[in-house]
Amino acid sequence: QVELVESGGGLVKPGGSLRLSCAASGFTFSDYYMNWIRQAPGKGLEWVSYISSSGTAIYYADSVKGRFTISRDNARSSLYLQMNSLRAEDTAVYYCARLDTAMVKYWGQGTLVTVSS
Amino acid sequence: SYVLTQPPSVSVAPGQTARITCGGNNIGSKSVHWYQQKPGQAPVLVVYDDSDRPSGIPERFSGSNSGNTATLTISRVEAGDEADYYCQVWDSSSDQNVVFGGGTKLTVL
């Protein structure tokens, strides 16, 4: 069965950095595009970034462009999100999610990132 | 970038039919996917490609898409259907490809 497990969330001060990880299992990781999607407390879903199966195509939401970097290690079946220059508005649960032909079929349970002084 | 508009809330009595809309410019030309999210849980795909259901999703969940509006229909609503529902499309015309609607809170009266 497909499993996505995020880690790396926590409390960080404004301007700080954090690196999220997602460990994937139950499928051939290198065959799939992968996403990060976030949800601020009490708010809706916001797509953050996706990366192609080979890692050659990468896109970001305008709200994180230039501050966040998505990457993957297919040998380790892992997805990453390096978050720099964090702001209060980046506070959210961050979900790792598999992209299946333009839909998100599998989601992790999420990891909470809190940006606060 | 492409915008999807959902009503903030929909209320329905148990056993009745709930309809949640998702508006977008010529959305009928896109494939629409719907997610259910209960408090404290990750979203779950309930309808994909406008009207198909993943395995394990009850037949009570159905979808349609035409013109500028897509609709998620939940028949014979149960208390357990109370949740937030989000529509989503792939916008190939920009680099902000994965687009979500703002979400609709379904309340079962």
Give CA–CA dist B33/A89, Å, rounded. 27
d(CA A28, CA A95): 19
CB B109, CB B14: distance < 8 Å: yes
DSSP A61: -
Residues in chain A within 8 Å Cβ distance of B96? 47, 59, 61-62
Euclidean distance between CA atoms A47 and A42, whole angstroms: 16
- pLDDT for position B96: 82
Query: Could you tell me which residues of chain A have a Cβ less than 8 Å from any Cβ in chain B?
Result: 35, 37, 44-47, 50, 59, 61-62, 95, 99, 102-105, 107-110
Q: According to the model, what pLDDT value does residue A101 have?
A: 85
CB contacts, 8 Å: B84 with chain A: 44
Report whether pLDDT(A16) > 90: yes
Across A8-116, the runs of DSSP E, i.e. the strands, are 10-12, 18-25, 33-39, 45-51, 58-60, 68-73, 78-83, 92-100, 103-107, 111-115
Q: What is the pLDDT of residue B93?
A: 86
| pLDDT for the residue B94 | 84
With CA atoms as reference, the chain B residue closest to A42 would be: B39
Distance (Å) of CA B44 to CA B33, B35, B56, B68: 11, 5, 11, 24
What mean pLDDT comes out for the span A77-101?
Answer: 97
Closest chain B CA to residue A46: B100
The CA-based diameter of chain B, rounded to the nearest angstrom, is 42
Say if CB A78 and CB A97 are below 8 A apart.
no
With 0-12 CB in 10 A as exposed, 13-18 as middle and 19+ as buried, what is A43? exposed
pLDDT band at A50 (very low <50, low <70, confident <90, very high): very high
- Among candidates B45, B97, B102 on the partner chain, residue whose Cβ is nearest the Cβ of A105: B45
Q: Which of B18, B14, B12 has the alpha carbon at shortest distance from B34?
A: B18
Distance between CA A1 and CA A26 in Å, rounded? Answer: 5
Mean pLDDT by 10 residues, chain B (109 residues): 96 97 96 97 97 96 97 97 97 88 97
Residue B72: alpha-carbon gap to chain centroid: 5
pLDDT at B95: 82
- Residue A113 contacts residue A92 (beta carbons within 8 Å): yes
Of A102, A103, A109, the CB nearest to B42: A109
Q: Quote the DSSP letter at residue B41.
A: S
Tokens 């079946």 identify what position?
A: A77
C-alpha to C-alpha distance for A95 and A5, rounded to whole angstroms: 9
Closest-CA distance, B108 to chain A, in angstroms, reads 19
Average pLDDT, chain A: 97
Q: Which amino acid is at B47?
A: V
